[in-house]
Amino acid sequence: MAKAELKIIGSSPARLGGVERVVGKGVYGIDLMLKDQLHGAILRSQYAHAKIVSIDTSEAKKIPGVHAVVTAEDAPNVRYGRSYIDRHILARGKVRFMGDPVAAVAAESPAIARQALKKIKVVYEPLPVVIDPEEATKADAPVLHDDMPLPKTIPADSGMKNVCGHAVVKVGDAEKAMAEADVVVEEVYETKMIHPQYLEPRIAAAQMEPNGRLTVWANAQAPFPVRQETAKTLGLPLNNVRVISAGLGGGFGGKGSGITSGAAVEPICGLLAIKAKRPVMIVLDKAEETISTTIRAGAKMYIKTGVKKDGTILARTGKVFYDAGGYSGFGVQAGGRCTNMLGGWYLMPNCHIDGYSVYTNKQVCGPVRGPGGPQAAFAVESHMDSIAAKLGMDPTEFRLKNMPKAGDKIVGVPKLRDVSLGETIKIAKEKIGWGKVKLEKNQGIGIATGSWIESAGPGGGSIVKVNEDGSVTVHIGKIDMGTIPGFGIPLIVAEELGIPVSDVTVVNVDTDASPWDAGTVGSRGILVSGGATRLAAIDARNQIFKMAARKLEASPDDLEIIDKQIRVKGTPTKSVPLATVATDAHNVIGEVIGRGYCDNLELMAEEKAHGSSQPFTTHACIVEVSPDTGNVKILKYVAVHDIGQPIHRAAAEGQIEGAAAMSIGQALCEQVVFDQDGRTMNPSFVDYLMPTINMMPRIETTLVEGFPGSGPYGAKGAGEIACVPPMACIANAIFNATGVRINKLPLSPENVLRGLKEAGKA
């Protein structure tokens, strides 16, 4: 559809669900109160690595007000996981990180539950701990999972240990091409673990119904995978488990990907409810969240690039050690993505990178906002500036020299459809004043680009029901955490059915009623549910036109809907209200029910034929570095993004600005700190620093249009890509200001000052 024809797509009407949120209605999971509910609590390992010798729950069970105490023995001996099926809902025989759940209780009050946890006697036999993912692969490292084999691609005589994922990028002959390079730059980059720190803690509530079914309320991003994994780990058939999405106060991938991300709080709660024969609710506290739920993993990345004198990249080699944590979680997928992205998104004729996802005695890697991407981009885009400096080239000219164009391939993408990367660089340069702005002493300017995956992935459906008054009720499988149910979906329905946004309701996910969905993850809301809803709305419109055509004695092809009226095009007086047709449907087909799907095979075929339309971005910033304290202040920050056609403009901007803020936090201050025993040193918000208004610049966002994506109306995903460039962007500006390259995050005063001192500049 041509842009000029769009009526409401691309505007910014009020979010659905806004009023209840600003007046303080209890729309979130944490606001739930089930009748007669017990309070659940989880006992967590105090060792990062230990054998469980025995667990004695007898004293805990005696406490008045305690209704259930459960351990692994109370649940089926069934493991869950995504690639490696390596985890029980409660630790069985061994704990692998501090925070691993060992037992759980349900009691009349939170205080009694806490008291009961203290009475559970666990005897541990401590084992050696390994914290660093590269060290964990070595011959002398302790083994976390005795029964998990190495990936098949790793030779048996390699001597490697604890590897649960191996990704290989091999393009051309990188070693040969490297030998022919004029200039070779070799560096090592390292990022640390950060926690997604959604503000609403994880909850789960569960109750057995009189008919023997288990109802679970979850503030999870993926209710259907939660249902599947809960049913599997509790030994229940799928039709006897119902998962209802309790509203989410943020997720950022930390509440994504089924119970692998929730540290199994849903099945543990279900198990308690079954044993106690009462409804149970578990609310994690923030410190417990920080040590036990899934995180954005740290990565150690070796990167080496050979270039010609004129700046043409010839070859890249590299190695990635990606920290999966105590269990594989999402570590295999995220580590693979990190490995791919270490190849960059420029022309790369020869490339060889090995990436290892590695078990360590830390909490588990989740699909946190752009899994693998921000880490890789910190290395790739810092490295690009290091190469440019060695060549004596302007960093933007060096990037433009290696720019792919339509039809080219980049690492991980066989064929690009159109490439907005150069355009985003050009606009970012203009906005930041590249080469023009006068920098004061200790100030520097930096730029970094990014890309993110599109299209291939799970499909999804949408159901659009037209009510008797012409209002519409939509069922999709994606949840509302400031994402499409409140923003994009109503616009799409309004666009196609000629009704106001306020006439659209999007139903909260209930696995008994909603279409299956993999979850609100991977920047796929618009692509999957947006695309499916557009087709469902068109299907509904076709049904309406077929019925209206009889009344209006016209061809369905000659009809249009404007302002809730179905009219004959060109003869506006010949019309019938949408409400009339929807009501009269009772006597025809019963109800107008439009259905639509996002068909993943179709998307992939389209991509194979015409190439993939990637979103691209360039961020640029100006910083001031204090040579006395090492403090970095961001003075100006611009974010230029191609996300195709924006659907809800303010929501798209908000996604970009929030994602950028999360990575600015990782750049400047955020990290989960561990001691050598694997204990988290900063579990509370007192010690875990994240960006407040004081350290955030105003992010100046520009949306570049004219590069349509494969989503509805040419949209592309927007939720994650802005996480990709900020760390390198800021590191490059620090390099520009000081001449010092900081290879390890965070770019905190401590680390920057150390870098300056080592270079003799402070």
Partner 1 sequence: MSVTINTKINGQSVTAVAEASTSLLEFLRDTLEMKGSKLCCNTGECGACTVIYNGKPINSCVTMAADANGAEIVTVEGLADGNNLHPVQQAFIDTGAVQCGYCTPGFIMSVKALLDHTKKPTPADIEDAISGNICRCTGYNKIVDAIHLAADRMAGRA
Give Dmax over CA atoms of the chain in angstroms. 86
Contact pick of 6, 21, 606, 751 for partner 1 (by CB under 8 A) = 21
Interaction between residue 686 and partner 1 (CB under 8 A): yes
Q: Which of 28, 345, 359, 616 binds partner 1 (CB under 8 A)?
A: 28
Q: CB of 424: closest distance to partner 1 in angstroms? A: 18
Residue selected from 481, 582, 603, 672 as contacting partner 1 according to rule CB under 8 A = 481
Write down the residue that tokens 């699909």 correspond to: 367
In the bound complex, what is the minimum distance in angstroms from residue 687's beta carbon to partner 1?
A: 9
Cα(524)–Cα(529) distance, integer angstroms: 8
Q: How many CB atoms lie under 10 A from the CB of residue 64? A: 7
CA 639 to each of CA 216, 353, 417, 426, 698: distance values in angstroms, whole numbers, following the listed order:
40, 29, 23, 12, 10
**217 near partner 1, rule: CB under 8 A:** no
Verify binding: residue 450, partner 1, rule CB under 8 A. no
640-665 in b/e burial notation, b at 16+ Cβ within 10 A? bbbbbbbbbbebbbbbbbbbbbbbbb
Q: Is 54 exposed, middle or buried (0-12, 13-18, 19+ CB in 10 A)?
A: exposed
Instruction: Please give the Cα distance from 22 to 422 (Å, whole number).
Output: 41
C-beta of 39 vs 161, nearer to partner 1: 39
Nearer to partner 1, 201 or 326 (CB): 201
Among 33, 139, 156, 601, the residue binding partner 1 under the rule CB under 8 A is: 33
Binding window for partner 1 (CB under 8 A); candidates: 11-19, 238-246, 267-275, 411-419:
11-19
User: By CB under 8 A, is residue 25 in contact with partner 1?
Assistant: yes
Instruction: Report how far residue 34's alpha carbon sits from residue 88's, in angstroms, rounded to the nearest whole number.
Output: 27
Site string for partner 1, 538-577 (x = CB under 8 A): ----------------------------------------
- Identity of the residue, 603 or 715, whose beta carbon is nearer to partner 1 in the bound complex: 715
Q: 156 vs 693, which CB is nearer to partner 1?
A: 693
Given candidates 137, 701, 736, 738, which one binds partner 1 under the rule CB under 8 A? 701
Q: Shortest Cβ distance from residue 631 to partner 1 (Å)?
A: 17
425 or 723: whose CB is closer to partner 1?
A: 723
What is the nearest approach in angstroms of partner 1 to the Cβ of residue 621?
13
Of 99-107, 250-258, 587-595, 601-609, which part binds partner 1 (CB under 8 A)?
250-258
Interaction of residue 698 with partner 1, rule CB under 8 A: yes
Q: Partners of 165 in the beta sheet?
A: 357
Q: Which lies closer to partner 1 via its Cβ, residue 31 or residue 606?
A: 31
Q: Which of 203, 232, 398, 242 lies closest to 308 in space, CA to CA? A: 398
334 binds partner 1 (CB under 8 A): no
Q: Which of 59, 285, 512, 677 binds partner 1 (CB under 8 A)?
A: 285
| One of 10, 17, 40, 343 touching partner 1 (CB under 8 A) | 17
Where b means 16+ CB within 10 Å and e means fewer, 321-347 reads bbbbbbbbbbbbbbbbbbbbbbbbbbb
- 286 near partner 1 (CB under 8 A): yes
Per-residue tokens: 119: 């009475």
* Gap between the Cα atoms of 301 and 322, Å rounded: 8
Report the residue count for the chain. Answer: 762
Residue 176 · residue 8 · CB < 8 Å? no
Q: Residue 521 CB, nearest distance to partner 1 (Å)?
A: 15
Shortest Cβ distance from residue 640 to partner 1 (Å)?
15
DSSP states along 261-320: HHTTHHHHHHHHHHHHTS-EEEE--HHHHHHHS-BBPPEEEEEEEEE-TTS-EEEEEEEE
Q: Where are the beta strands (DSSP E) in 115-269?
A: 121-126, 163-171, 183-191, 203-208, 214-218, 241-245
Asked if residue 651 binds partner 1 (CB under 8 A), the reply is yes
**Shortest CB 531 distance to partner 1, Å:** 22
The region of 52-60, 163-171, 247-255, 526-534 touching partner 1 under the rule CB under 8 A is 247-255
**Would you say 211 or 692 has its CB closer to partner 1?**
692
Tell the smallest beta-carbon distance from residue 498 to partner 1 (Å): 24
DSSP calls for 3-38: GGG-SSTT--PPPTTHHHHHTT---BGGG---TTPE
Nearer Cβ to partner 1, position 8 or 324?
8
Q: Which is nearer to partner 1, 303 or 634 (CB)?
A: 634
Spatial neighbors of 250 by CB under 8 A, at least 6 apart, are 196, 198, 199, 200, 481, 482
Nearer to partner 1, 571 or 684 (CB): 684
Q: Which two tokens stand for residue 196?
A: 């997604």
Which of residues 264, 662, 718, 723 is near partner 1 by CB under 8 A? Answer: 662
Q: How near is the Cβ of 723 to partner 1 at its closest, in Å?
A: 11
Sequence letter at residue 511: T
Answer yes or no whether residue 653 interacts with partner 1 by CB under 8 A. yes
d(CA 152, CA 135) in angstroms, rounded, equals 21
DSSP secondary structure code for residue 167 in this structure: E
Q: Which is nearer to partner 1, 121 or 698 (CB)?
A: 698
x/- map, 174-213, partner 1, by CB under 8 A: ----------------------xxxxxx------------
Q: Which of 187, 394, 591, 657 binds partner 1 (CB under 8 A)?
A: 657
Residue 29, CA atoms < 13 Å, CB-side half-sphere = 34
Binding-site member from 690, 708, 744, 754 for partner 1 (CB under 8 A) = 690
Per-residue burial over 711-743, b if 16 or more Cβ lie within 10 Å, else e, is bbbbbbbbbbbbbbbbbbbbbbbbbbbbebbbb
Among 76, 250, 708, 749, binds partner 1 (CB under 8 A): 250
Which residue blocks in 568-641 are alpha helix, DSSP H? Answer: 578-584, 600-610
- When binding is defined by CB under 8 A, the residue of 448, 552, 660, 762 that contacts partner 1 is 660
**Binding residue (CB under 8 A) for partner 1 from 3, 182, 684, 739:** 684
For the bound state, the minimum distance from the C-beta of residue 357 to partner 1, rounded and expressed in Å, comes to: 26
Least distance (Å) between residue 91 CB and partner 1: 26
Choose one: 128-136, 560-568, 594-602, 684-692; the region binding partner 1 (CB under 8 A): 684-692
CB nearer to partner 1: pick between 174 and 194: 194
Q: Of 198, 203, 204, 213, whose CA–CA distance to 249 is shortest?
A: 198
The Cα–Cα gap between 361 and 169 comes to: 27
Distances (CA, A) of 223 to 371, 689, 720: 20, 30, 20
Phi, psi of 319 (to 5 degrees): -145, 140
Q: Does 707 bind partner 1 (CB under 8 A)?
A: no
The verdict on 252 binding partner 1 (CB under 8 A) reads: yes
CA 631/CA 751 separation, integer angstroms: 9
Rounded-to-integer distance, Cα 399 and Cα 724, Å: 16
Q: Which of 1, 26, 168, 628 binds partner 1 (CB under 8 A)?
A: 26
Q: How far is CA 706 from CA 615, 656, 660, in A?
A: 12, 18, 23
Q: Is 19 in the site for partner 1 (CB under 8 A)?
A: yes
Return the residues of window 146-165 that contact partner 1 according to CB under 8 A. none
Query: What's the first-to-final CA gap in the chain, in angstroms?
Result: 58
Q: Please, what is the minimum distance in Å from the beta carbon of residue 668 to partner 1? A: 14
Which residue of 15, 227, 296, 362 would you call a contact of partner 1, by CB under 8 A?
15
Name the strand (E) or helix (H) holding 620.
strand 616-625
Task: Give the interface with partner 1 as residue ranges (CB under 8 A).
Answer: 12, 14-15, 17-19, 21-28, 30-31, 33, 196-201, 248-252, 283, 285-286, 481-482, 650-651, 653-654, 657-662, 684-686, 690, 692-694, 696, 698-699, 701
